[in-house]
Amino acid sequence: MMVYPRVSLYALMLACAGIPLYIHLPQFAATELGIGLGTLGVILLTIRLFDLVQDPLIGWAIDRWPHWQGGFAFAAAAGLAVGFPLLFGLQSGAFVAAKLIAVLMLLFSAYSLGMILLYGRSATLAKSPQASDLMTLASYRESGMLAGVVLASIAPSILVGLGSTDQGYHTFGLLLGVVALIAGVATRPIWTRPVVAGQKISLAALSQAGGVKLLILAVLNSLPVALTSTLFLFFVQDYLDLPTLAGPLLVLFFVSAGLSVPFWSLLARKIGAKPTLLIAMPLAIASFVGAAFLSAGDAFGFALICMASGAALGADMVLLPALFSIALTKAGLNAATAFGIWSFAGKLALALAAAIALPALELRGFAPASNNSPDALAALVAAYAILPCLLKTAAFGYAMTLPSESPS
């Protein structure tokens, strides 16, 4: 059915937006705008505090005015289409931090609107609200997400190879704007489907449906990924000393995630979502442990780690939102409001990672693209590998307490 490919396209657009905000932004701000890592961490945390209020309100608005879903979808695409050329068109100078905050608020608002709408309308976009069809929708959605991630990861390097200046960032912003505009127009038919509405959400109802436990797991599970996403380019370029391989390794990571999605989806249908999650999570733990023992120039070892951790990410992406959506649908609850809370939970993890790790690294003397001391590089390894390992282990322990799911 044509709905699912269009869902993949809309997801691709959002993923193209997410990766620059979480992976390319720290390096762009530090090297092109001259903004320190500590300052950037504070900026991202401040915007997340804005999201604390905004994301649940977006979810509430989507549920409150379901007949506006087409307008919401296009507004999200338009915000991204305008925001990214503005973001990567910024130049260092007076008031650059204030300009960055203003553009990021536009981008994060548009990104939140699109993400909450896409995930909150799972029951509407799926062939039926049955668990198996929701899992199928999740597979298409996350495959689109991962395709967008790969596109956004390799685009700056390709653009530089084609002759773009300033590391390709300016042209990259224009490219992201065009992708958002095309996706916004091409996916409009899916937002004309009749909305599958639910009951008004409450904390008690969400808790009874198992949603609160899944939200807690989402935060715990997002923290290690948030740390590694924020620090990936620094680890590859400054610790492993493999600057030319940063792009290919990032692509390998996300391609591994994308290729793993059908496997995890099939396994979840056979043995259930919780057992599948408990198989995938130790894979991530092992990859964090392995990263801690790498040394400069170890491209092959880190490539293996990218493959393993990417495959583990594929499980997280397809299983956790699907589990949340299934729980909400079974309980007959309004999903968009709940996914507004879900969205904030994930972004809170990213903000905490940036707000804690970036200033801490700056205090230890780490500076991107510089001749860093052994102590500064050791701090980078601790933040990129050791701390995520501990956090993922805690998430694994919490996941074991979830109620068992029978295969759907």
Give the type of residue at 31.
T
Q: Is residue 96 scored above 60 in pLDDT?
A: yes
CB 190 within 8 A of CB 118: no
Q: What is the mean pLDDT of residues 140-147?
A: 86
pLDDT of residue 280: 93
User: Distance between the two ends of the chain, CA-based, in angstroms?
Assistant: 21
User: Please, which residues have CB within 8 angstroms of residue 258's CB and are 6 or more apart in sequence?
Assistant: 143, 146, 147, 149, 150, 314
For 344, what's the count of Cα atoms within 13 Å in the CB-facing half-sphere? 18
pLDDT of residue 165: 67
- In angstroms and rounded to an integer, the radius of gyration of the C-alpha atoms of the chain is 20
pLDDT tens readout for residues 281-333: 999 999 999 999 999 999 999 999 999 999 998 898 888 888 888 888 777 77
pLDDT of residue 326: 80
CB 137 within 8 A of CB 4: yes
- Sort 101 into a burial class: Cβ within 10 Å, 0-12 / 13-18 / 19+: middle
Q: Is residue 184 scored above 90 in pLDDT?
A: yes
Alpha-carbon span 158 to 161, nearest angstrom: 5
Nearest of 303, 288, 298 to residue 248 by alpha carbon? 303
Q: What is the mean pLDDT of residues 64-78?
A: 93
Three-state DSSP class for residue 333: strand
Per-residue pLDDT band at 216 (split at 50, 70, 90): confident
pLDDT of residue 405: 55
- Sort 189 into a burial class: Cβ within 10 Å, 0-12 / 13-18 / 19+: exposed
List residues bridging with 199 in a β-sheet.
333
The share of the chain scoring above pLDDT 90, in percent, equals: 32
Per-residue pLDDT band at 166 (split at 50, 70, 90): low
Alpha-carbon span 358 to 379, nearest angstrom: 11
Tell me which DSSP letter residue 190 carries: G
| Every domain of the chain and the residues it spans | 3-399
- How many C-beta neighbours within 10 Å does residue 91 have? 11
What region does 272 belong to: left with phi over 0, alpha with psi -120 to 50, or beta?
left
Q: What is the mean pLDDT of residues 364-390?
A: 89
- Sort 182 into a burial class: Cβ within 10 Å, 0-12 / 13-18 / 19+: middle
pLDDT tens readout for residues 186-211: 999 999 988 876 677 777 877 887 88
- How many C-beta neighbours within 10 Å does residue 204 have? 9
Alpha-carbon span 360 to 61, nearest angstrom: 38
Q: Is residue 131 scored above 90 in pLDDT?
A: no
Whose structure tokens read 């699109």? 114
Q: Which CATH number fits domain 3-399: 1.10.10.10, 3.30.1330.60, 1.20.1250.20, 3.20.20.210?
A: 1.20.1250.20
Q: Is residue 406 scored above 60 in pLDDT?
A: no
Per-residue pLDDT band at 85 (split at 50, 70, 90): very high
Tell me which DSSP letter residue 90 carries: -
Q: Is residue 408 scored above 60 in pLDDT?
A: no
Q: Is residue 23 scored above 50 in pLDDT?
A: yes
Q: Is residue 117 scored above 90 in pLDDT?
A: yes
Distance of CA 407 to the CA centre of its chain: 27
Q: What is the mean pLDDT of residues 366-393?
A: 90
Q: What is the mean pLDDT of residues 158-166?
A: 75
User: How high is the mean pLDDT of the chain?
Assistant: 85
pLDDT of residue 407: 42
What region does 168 belong to: left with phi over 0, alpha with psi -120 to 50, or beta?
left
Q: What is the mean pLDDT of residues 16-23?
A: 77
- How many C-beta neighbours within 10 Å does residue 278 have? 16
pLDDT of residue 45: 75
Q: What is the mean pLDDT of residues 211-238?
A: 87
The values of phi and psi at residue 130, to 5°, are -70, 150
Per-residue pLDDT band at 271 (split at 50, 70, 90): confident
CB 134 within 8 A of CB 325: yes
Angle between helices 211-234 and 387-399 (to 10 degrees): 160
Q: Is residue 112 scored above 70 in pLDDT?
A: yes
For 132-170, b/e burial (b = at least 16 CB within 10 A) is ebbbbbbbbbbbbbbbbbbbbbebbbebbeeebebbbbb
Per-residue pLDDT band at 123 (split at 50, 70, 90): confident
Identify which has the larger pLDDT, 150 or 167: 150
Task: Among 19-28, 166-175, 323-332, 379-388, name the most confident range.
Answer: 379-388
